[in-house]
Amino acid sequence: GVRLTRRFEFSDSSLTADATLRVTDTIELIDHRLVVRRMYFSSDLQSAYVAAANVYHDDILCPATDLAGYVDELNRTRCVTITREFS
pLDDT, one tens digit per residue, over 40-67 is 887 665 555 555 555 555 655 667 788 9
Q: Which residue has the higher pLDDT, 15 or 3?
A: 3
CA–CA distance, 47 with 45 (Å, rounded to integer): 6
Maximal CA-CA distance, the chain: 47
Q: Which residue has the higher pLDDT, 1 or 49?
A: 1
Burial pattern 40-72, b for ≥16 Cβ within 10 A else e, equals eebbeeebeebeeeeeeeeebeeeeeebeebbe
